[in-house]
Structures are given as C-alpha cells and as structure tokens.
Amino acid sequence: MLRTTILLGLALVAFGLSASADGGGFKRIRTQFIAALDDPGATSGTGAEKWGLWKLDPGPRGVMLGGGYEGLKKNGGVAPAKWKFDNNDWWLEEHGLIMEPPDTPLTAGKYMVTGAREVTAALTVYLMEGGTQRWELADGAKLYDVTHLPCRSARYTTPEGGSCSPDNVVRNEFPVTPGGPMPPITGCSKQDYAVLFVVAVEA
C-alpha cells in the first residue's frame, strides 16, 4: 500500500486539495486506508459496521510470510510494530504480507476517498442504528470507482473445527493481480475487502 505516492498526488490535484490547503469543507490528512465490504457497483448500502480503518499504512508495519511469520511466532505473536497477531483471525495483503487488523467500526462522519484513478468522492458513514451503519458515496460514485485496485486485502478466519494458519499459504500465488481476488487458504474462511484511500476528512 506504500507504492502510491504519485497517484495519490494526482488524485488530490483532481479534488483541488494540496498538502498544505483545505478545501470543500474537508481538511487534508495523512493518507489512511478503509477496508470496505459491499457490491462494487453500489453507491450506498448498509454494513459499514463491518468496515475497518487503518490510520497508518499497514504495509511497513506488516510481517512477511515465511521467516517473518516464524519470527512472529517466536515473539509470542507480537510484531516488530507492536501489534498482536491472532491466529484465528488475521489479514493478508497482495504481496503476501500479514497485516495488523484495521480499527472497527468506522467512526460516523464524512471521508474523502479515492482509488487513485479517476474518481474522488465524499463517503458518508452514518451513526450506528440497531447495530447497523449505513454508508453513501456522493455524486453517483460507485464503490469500485474509489477502490485502489492494486491494493488487495483479505481477512482469514478459522471456521469451527478448522485450523487457519499462514503456514498453509501457497507462496507462489503472490503477488495478486490488481483487481483480482485474494487466494483461498486451506483450513481458512476468507473474506475479500476493497481498499479505499482516505485523503481528507470533514473539517
């Protein structure tokens, strides 16, 4: 997720923001990352309580499969960046990097999001009602439009009676094709998430 500086700069120019300027009722922030889960063609929906937010780029804070994971196990599941690995519920990105989980649920409010392609749009996440959060993109933007395709992420969990471990990952299935699904892993249940860049929040 760290390989996006130039594209993000172009997205900010398109939105009319610079690194030192506010605009449109939003204030520029250091890029954050939303893990979103819904139909790529949707412009609004429910279920945002299942979405997550990485306030820091999880890439540099992650642990590679193989030797990195072995080191993680030897350290009691604590990564060098001090986050704790859960062997029954863990995240993987497109290069085979184990990531810390995002913060959930999303805080209600407005986020300026982009996929660093052509579209930048305001995302509204509504207050929780009955355990459910609604979300909506402005100006008819679709979730796919604001998804950064090269960034792939998936959550792997242990089903009842199963054994979900990074040791079961087939290493030659990485890197994942931009826009493609994350690979299945023996013993794991998998849920793919879209990754949105957050470049500004409501002022």
Whether pLDDT at 21 is above 90? no
Q: What is the dihedral of CA 146, 147, 149, 154, to 10 degrees?
A: 170
Whether pLDDT at 162 is above 90? no
Q: How confident is the model at residue 18 (pLDDT cuts 50, 70, 90)?
A: very low
Gap between the Cα atoms of 117 and 149, Å rounded:
9
3-state SS assignment for residue 198: strand
Residue 192 contacts residue 162 (beta carbons within 8 Å)? no
* Average pLDDT of the chain to the nearest whole number: 91
What global pTM score does this model have?
A: 0.89
Q: What is the model's pLDDT at position 5?
A: 43
Q: What is the model's pLDDT at position 13?
A: 46
Whether pLDDT at 16 is above 70? no
Lowest mean pLDDT among 10-14, 95-99, 154-158, 183-187: 10-14
Q: Tell me whether the omega of the peptide bond preceding residue 102 falls within 30 degrees of 0, making it cis.
A: no
